[in-house]
Amino acid sequence: MGNKNKTISFRVSQEKFETLRDIAEERDISLSAVFRDYVDMLVAHGGQVEVVPEHEVGESADSTSESFPPKVEVPKSFVREHERLELEAEHLREQLEEHKRYVTKLRQELDEHDQEDVVHLDELDGDEDEDSPYRIGSSFDDSSI
């Protein structure tokens, strides 16, 4: 099949387009060549490309000894704390999932139980006669008095 070129398209503002066209004319190359050069450079350097004006190209390499992108040294204690927090977060996620499963199980058990087993106090009040007195304590017989 061979090596096929792919086309990439994107939109830029009119001002930026004119600036890019001026750059291409200044270098006496096509506008497409500007982008091909940039993409080739990006691929060749593993995505670590810093775009700077030409007059700063020599300065930036001489004035800074840092590579692009900048790298930051992190203390081991910070890394260990981060790992500990990640483990704790994972443990808490597992506990949450376990709790959710337990709640789901309880809800299913509740739904499985027959609703007739539930006795509401309001329903009991309606069944009794209003005339019969309620007595608290021991019952006694009127004939014994």
Query: Cα–Cα distances in Å, from 80 out to 33, 73, 91?
Result: 48, 14, 16
Residue 34 contacts residue 20 (beta carbons within 8 Å)? yes
In a domain, 133, yes or no: no
Q: Which residue has the higher pLDDT, 130 or 7?
A: 7
Arithmetic mean of pLDDT, 26-39 = 83
In a domain, 59, yes or no: no
Q: Looking at residue 126, what is its pLDDT?
A: 60
In a domain, 85, yes or no: yes
In a domain, 108, yes or no: yes
- Name the band, by pLDDT with cuts 50, 70 and 90, for residue 103: very high
In percent, how much of the chain has pLDDT > 90?
19
Q: Looking at residue 96, what is its pLDDT?
A: 96
In a domain, 98, yes or no: yes
In a domain, 19, yes or no: yes
In a domain, 40, yes or no: yes
In a domain, 138, yes or no: no
pLDDT digits (tens, 9 = 90+) for 45-91: 887 777 777 777 766 444 445 566 677 788 889 889 999 999 999 99
Q: Looking at residue 99, what is its pLDDT?
A: 96
What lies within 8 Å, CB to CB, of 31 at 6+ separation is 20, 21, 24
**Range(s) of the domain holding residue 99:** 76-113
Helix ranges (H only) for the chain are 14-26, 31-44, 57-63, 76-112, 121-127
Q: Looking at residue 85, what is its pLDDT?
A: 94
Structural domains of the chain, count:
2
- For the cut 90, the answer to whether the pLDDT of residue 101 exceeds it is yes
- Name the band, by pLDDT with cuts 50, 70 and 90, for residue 119: low
